[in-house]
Amino acid sequence: MLEIKEIYKTFNAGTINEKRAMNGVSLTLNDGDFVTVIGGNGAGKSTLLNLVAGVYPVDSGTISIDGQDVTRLPEHKRAKFIGRVFQDPMMGTAATMQIEENLALAARRGQGRSLRPGITRAEREQYKELLKILDLGLEDRLTSKVGLLSGGQRQALTLLMATLKKPKLLLLDEHTAALDPKTAAKVLDTTEKIVQRDKLTTLMITHNMRDAIAHGNRLIMMYEGRIAVDVSGEEKKKLTVEQLLNLFSKASGSDEADDKLLLG
């Protein structure tokens, strides 16, 4: 579903701020893989997702989604393959619009400009059904303005919108990090439900090692623009935080596996 071959990215090349953020990463995801991504600040996690989404081009290497080489495809053309949720709950939804209007936007994404005004009764029923999986009672608040929702409710709605069209790839960049622990757990639970239901191929960045271990069928840890640890299958299931820290120390050749990684 996703094939990344030897990608490199240097920011501000040739200046004093030069930074090699991606240092020859190769990664292949199979259909339905749910991969958690961890690593310290500046390790290159967000850069990896941004390069996949086409926010900026790679310096070299290739990226294919579902067999199609998208390396040279601009961001807006890749968007039809990809659902994204970011850390900031304010980002994925339009505050001044109603819940149902936001869902209609997501549902009509990629269909070009629809001249059809309003939302049909059938669509409204469909949105209600979709909202139920969030378990937040939003199915009874279709006409509420999204700006009135809490951060957690809004992030849950963003997740629903990002996955509405069953994207070939779901990219989550610390999408629960700005929420209180209880709300974060709920949104993560919903994520798990949607990913399993629709068998979505997913990359999820988190700073929480326990979450990274508890979710998904594969875990990668990034360090200095490379994949330093890659664990899957039975090994991943049995993994403990302590083992993960040990793996990281070995891979990075340092004791830098400190609480910075543990703390969300």
Ligand X SMILES: Nc1ncnc2c1ncn2[C@@H]1O[C@H](COP(=O)(O)OP(=O)(O)OP(=O)(O)O)[C@@H](O)[C@H]1O
Which one of 11-19, 25-33, 137-145, 246-254 is the stretch in contact with ligand X (CB under 6 A)? 11-19
Contact 153, 136 (CB under 8 A): yes
# residues near Mg ion by CB under 5 A: 2
CA-CA distance, 251 to 43, in Å (whole number)? 13
Should residue 208 be labelled a site residue for Mg ion when binding is judged by CB under 5 A?
A: no
Other CB atoms within 10 Å distance of the CB of residue 16: 5
Structure tokens at 153: 């409710």
Among residues 46, 163, 190, 201, the one that binds Mg ion under rule CB under 5 A: 46
Of ligand X, Mg ion, none, which one does residue 19 interact with (CB within 5 to 8 Å by kind)?
ligand X
Which one of 4-12, 38-46, 156-164, 184-192 is the stretch in contact with Mg ion (CB under 5 A)? 38-46
Should residue 36 be labelled a site residue for Mg ion when binding is judged by CB under 5 A?
A: no
CB contact burial 166-187 (16+ within 10 A = b; e otherwise): ebbbbbbbbbbebbeeebbebb
Should residue 98 be labelled a site residue for ligand X when binding is judged by CB under 6 A?
A: no
> What SS3 state is found at 110?
coil
Cβ burial of 248 (10 Å; 0-12, 13-18, 19+) is buried
Of ligand X, Mg ion, none, which one does residue 41 interact with (CB within 5 to 8 Å by kind)?
ligand X
Should residue 47 be labelled a site residue for ligand X when binding is judged by CB under 6 A?
A: yes
Contact 150, 131 (CB under 8 A): no
For ligand X, the closer of residues 58 and 134 by Cβ is: 58
- Type of residue found at 159: L
Structure tokens at 188: 């993560």
For Mg ion, the closer of residues 104 and 222 by Cβ is: 222
Should residue 19 be labelled a site residue for ligand X when binding is judged by CB under 6 A?
A: yes
Should residue 190 be labelled a site residue for ligand X when binding is judged by CB under 6 A?
A: no
Should residue 176 be labelled a site residue for Mg ion when binding is judged by CB under 5 A?
A: no
> What SS3 state is found at 50?
helix
> What SS3 state is found at 177?
coil
Calculate the dihedral angle through the C-alpha atoms of 112, 80, 52, 9, rounding to the nearest 10 degrees. -20
Should residue 11 be labelled a site residue for ligand X when binding is judged by CB under 6 A?
A: yes
Of Mg ion, ligand X, none, which one does residue 21 interact with (CB within 5 to 8 Å by kind)?
ligand X
For ligand X, the closer of residues 45 and 175 by Cβ is: 45
Of ligand X, Mg ion, none, which one does residue 89 interact with (CB within 5 to 8 Å by kind)?
none
* Residues making contact with ligand X (CB under 6 A): 11-12, 19, 21, 39, 41-47
